[in-house]
Amino acid sequence: MTTQIEFNAVEKYYGRFHALKNISLEIEKGAFVALVGPSGCGKSTLLRSLAGLEKISSGEIKIAGEKMNHMPPRKRDIAMVFQSYALYPHMSVEENLTYSLRTHGVKKKDAQAKAREVADTTGLSNLLTRYPRELSGGQRQRVAMSRAIIRDPKAFLFDEPLSNLDAALRVHMRKEIRTLHDRLGATSVYVTHDQIEAMTMADRVVLMKEGRIEQEGAPLELYDKPVNQFVAGFIGSPAMNFIPATVGEDGQSLKLDIGEGQTLPYPGRLEAGKAVTVGLRPEHLMLVSKEEAQLSLKLRIGEATGATTYLFTDSDPEVAVVVNDRTTVTPGETFHLRIDPERIHLFDRETGVRL
């Protein structure tokens, strides 16, 4: 595989504010990479730096092996798709598609032929004479995508392109964008604050916090082996439960700080008396009988969605449990849980680093 995009020790300051901290990242040709993280973590800044819309303070950005630091945006040969679509309202779909080709000196006939070819791929063939105001949100999104595709760029950059759409259309467009990416053999970098979007669309997920990359890897790698408590809490929905605990004298048990006598076995060897944080995914906690119980907690509220039921305990900290069916547990009732010890996540209580 060849590297298409490269960040080497990139730093970005806005005045005195340190927005990107030592960012190094390689993106392979053909990859779909999601930049994800809470609001303000720097994902848009990273994307905009790649596009040339922000000037980095130090470090290096390369596209297809060529250094981009001083390259103006229009010469970087990349296409950007924004959430606002940025379509020209006074131009038809076809004119929106051909515009950038025409400004790059392509003959009208050739530009129109190319527009029709792209419209075929994106399912816009019947809408070429319409104006943006005559299109649905999803159709506008497709025009924006088509306009990006038509220039055959080295990479597609997406900045939260689906956040204006309703939930059902978002799920649909997620698949459309991914299918288009595969069909075109494109390299895509996709910014979102939605971890589900990142997990379902991308081959690689880059999770950022406060200007740094916390973890980069395949989606399930982040889910299975989060490097720290922040990653563990961000990836997965509902979020992982965190319970403070102390390692028992035998080094193989975890005394949970959540009411009396709640102890979990641990398959590894740990330092006796160590202060840790135990991470339990709601979907890994199994409802069992009293005899099989490792944990017994009282139900505060249950939410049935049909396929699954969410249970929330009245303990401190609260524990969320996802049950793959319905339950008869009622509020105020004590219920019993087990977890496969292999699925217990452990973090250093001080640093949050995975143990």
Site of interaction with ligand ATP (CB under 6 A): 14, 17, 19, 37, 39-45, 193
For ligand ATP, the closer CB: 85 or 312: 85
Min dist. Cβ of residue 238 to ligand ATP (A): 21
For ligand ATP, the closer CB: 18 or 338: 18
Chain position whose Cβ is nearest to ligand ATP: 44
Min dist. Cβ of residue 163 to ligand ATP (A): 9
Place of tokens 């606002």: 84
**What crossing angle do the helices spanning 108-122 and 167-184 adopt, rounded to 10°?**
120
Q: In sequence order, what are the residues at sequence separation of 6 or more whose Cβ sits closer than 8 angstroms to the Cβ of residue 162?
A: 83, 141, 169, 170, 173, 174, 192, 197
Min dist. Cβ of residue 190 to ligand ATP (A): 12
For ligand ATP, the closer CB: 178 or 212: 212
For ligand ATP, the closer CB: 80 or 287: 80
Q: Tell me which residue of 81, 73, 67, 33 sits closest to 187, measured CA to CA.
A: 33
Q: Which helix (H) or strand (E) holds 275?
A: strand 275-280
For ligand ATP, the closer CB: 52 or 132: 52
Q: Is residue 80 a contact partner of residue 91, using CB atoms and an 8 Å limit? A: no
Q: Is residue 169 a contact partner of residue 137, using CB atoms and an 8 Å limit? A: yes
Min dist. Cβ of residue 321 to ligand ATP (A): 30
Min dist. Cβ of residue 85 to ligand ATP (A): 17
For ligand ATP, the closer CB: 39 or 328: 39
Angle, alpha carbons 195-162-220 (nearest 5°): 25
Min dist. Cβ of residue 37 to ligand ATP (A): 6
Residue 278 structure tokens: 């135990």
DSSP secondary structure letter of residue 240: P
Cα separation, 352 vs 222, whole angstroms: 15
Q: Tell me which residue of 303, 289, 292 sits closest to 334, measured CA to CA.
A: 289
- In which region does residue 116 sit, left (phi positive, over 0), alpha (psi from -120 to 50) or beta (all else)? alpha
Indicate the length of the chain as a whole number.
355
For ligand ATP, the closer CB: 14 or 82: 14
Min dist. Cβ of residue 164 to ligand ATP (A): 14
For ligand ATP, the closer CB: 4 or 44: 44
Min dist. Cβ of residue 81 to ligand ATP (A): 15
Residue 174 structure tokens: 């997620």
Using alpha carbons, list the distances in angstroms from residue 51 to 45, 46, 229, 309: 10, 9, 32, 44
Q: Is residue 50 a contact partner of residue 78, using CB atoms and an 8 Å limit? A: yes
Using alpha carbons, list the distances in angstroms from residue 4 to 69, 208, 265: 15, 21, 46
Cα separation, 217 vs 220, whole angstroms: 8
For ligand ATP, the closer CB: 37 or 153: 37
Min dist. Cβ of residue 191 to ligand ATP (A): 6
